[in-house]
Amino acid sequence: MRFTVKLYALLAAYVPGTRAAAPFEVELPEGSTIADLIQHLQIPPEEMKIAFVNGRMQPLEYLIQEGDEVGMFSPVGGGSEEEMHLDIWLYGDLARRGGREAPLGYAHLELAMPVGSRMQQLLDILDIPTEERGITFINGDLSAMPGLQPDLEHILADGDRVALFHLNSMWPFQYRHGAAMIPEMKNALDSREDGGLQHAYK
């Protein structure tokens, strides 16, 4: 059977020529598990304790199926292997990252991640470069704007609702005055002389 694998962070170093989060195909016999995949890729077991299959965390005993997408991570620093659930909404062109061709203009996912995961890890799982997202909200609070993304290290919590809009879906000024913001976003804007009132950030 054939399936897709993505190795994140330092795990990519175990497969020469592979970049972190870049998909590649693997072929293994029917009935192979994630543990078998780890052995096949010659990754030391202690280096890989978190695996996602099609967006959900799975144990190492999970039987891989034809066409699965397996994401493998090093242990999350500061977190644990306990699972939390996120309510993810992807708008505009980002909807295709949720497995939809975006006929409705959005995709809705319920994603399981390890406790202690950060926004950057969520973007990695969704395969969304941070530069491709526009306005972003966490539980209705503004967390990022194009070119200004101070939320990458924001620790997500169980039940968080995250809405990610594509650059083409942004609204230029509505969310720069009096909007509720996560602390990282407020601090980033407060530290700017222009208060964030410009069209692009570098």
Taking the chain (202 residues) in runs of 10, the rounded mean pLDDT of each run is: 86 83 91 95 84 81 94 61 80 74 70 83 84 92 90 94 86 60 90 58 44
Boundaries of every domain in the chain? 2-73, 83-190
Predicted TM-score (pTM) above 0.85: no
Per-residue pLDDT, 176:
53
Q: What amino acid is encoded at 67 in this protein? A: G
Q: What DSSP designation does 15 have?
A: S
154 to 16, 17, 117, 198: CA distances (angstroms): 31, 31, 8, 24
Per-residue pLDDT, 73:
78
Q: Residues 171, 153, 84, 6: what is their CA dihedral angle, to the nearest 10 degrees?
A: 90
- Topology agreement, domain 2-73 and domain 83-190: yes
Tokens standing for residue 68? 């699965």
**Residues forming beta bridges with residue 137, ordered by sequence position:** 142, 163
Task: Note whether 129 and 202 are within 8 A (CB).
Answer: no
CATH number of 83-190: 3.10.20.30
Tokens standing for residue 18? 């592979």
CATH topology of domain 2-73: Ubiquitin-like (UB roll) (3.10.20)
